[in-house]
Amino acid sequence: MFLGHYAVGLAAKKVVPKVSLGTLFLAAQLVDLLWPLFLLLGLEHVRIDPGNTAVTPFDFYDYPITHSLIGAILWSVGLGLAYTFLKKDRRAAAVAGLVVFSHWILDLITHRPDLSLGMGGTTYFGLGLWNSIPATLVAECGLFAAGIIVYTRTTAAQDRIGSIGFWSMIGILSLIYVGNIAGPPPSSASIIAVAGNASWLFILWAYWVDKHRTAKSSAGQS
Ligand SMILES: [Zn+2]
């Protein structure tokens, strides 16, 4: 899943309006942001496998540190604790931790059975939404649209960075998604490990545009 994770970050803004969209994107995508680093370190592995599912040409055969259930729980708790330490806001920290965990639930729905429970697991889980391109598109685009509606109803742009900057980010994310689905698979797994790090750009982008938007007074209290 790609857009669906960003959708959770966008929607979470309604629950914790004081938390930057950058932090919420970081939480929603934390394990996918760490994954390329673990690939580069040789601690996790992926191979190119066209037809692995209808949607993805990747075989995620070894990624328990970022994508096992235990891993997801530890990263959720870790981010929650880090947020509490830095910002002294336990409620926002709990929400950020839950947003981290939402990644695993959404991946569980989308991936074929390649998610383990623990680090050394041999039983894998995944409900396989990716076996259907139409169902994947409906789910991802529906979630993304809902997230955008919630975020734009929760916040108002103060200036052009808050409006044009925000909508440009949404546009680029959508284009990348189309490219991922319609484009050819990368030629090697090492390209994924390097290119995957570009996702950090959207974290910075979200911090930037969120600073140029204010929470509307009707937004939920944090
Ligand atoms: Zn993932």
**Using one digit for the tens of pLDDT, what is the confidence trace for 121-135?**
789 999 999 999 999
Residue 113: the pLDDT is: 97
Secondary structure of the chain in HEC code, one letter for each residue: CCHHHHHHHHHHHHHCCCCCHHHHHHHHCHHHHHHHHHHHCCCCEEEECCCCCCCCCEEEEECHHHHCHHHHHHHHHHHHHHHHHHHCCHHHHHHHHHHHHHHHHHHHHHCCCCEECCCCCCCEECCCHHHCHHHHHHHHHHHHHHHHHHHHHHEEECCHHHHHHHHHHHHHHHHHHHHHHHCCCCCCHHHHHHHHHHHHHHHHHHHHHHHCEEECCCCCCC
* Ion ligand 1 residue ranges (Cβ < 5 Å): 32, 107
pLDDT digits over 10-60, tens only?
999 999 999 999 999 999 999 999 999 999 999 999 999 999 999 999 999
Task: Give the model confidence (pLDDT) of 101-159 as tens digits.
Answer: 999 999 999 999 999 999 887 899 999 999 999 999 999 999 999 999 999 999 999 99
Q: What is the CA(66)–ligand 1 centre distance, in A?
A: 8
Work out the percent of the chain whose per-residue pLDDT is above 90: 87
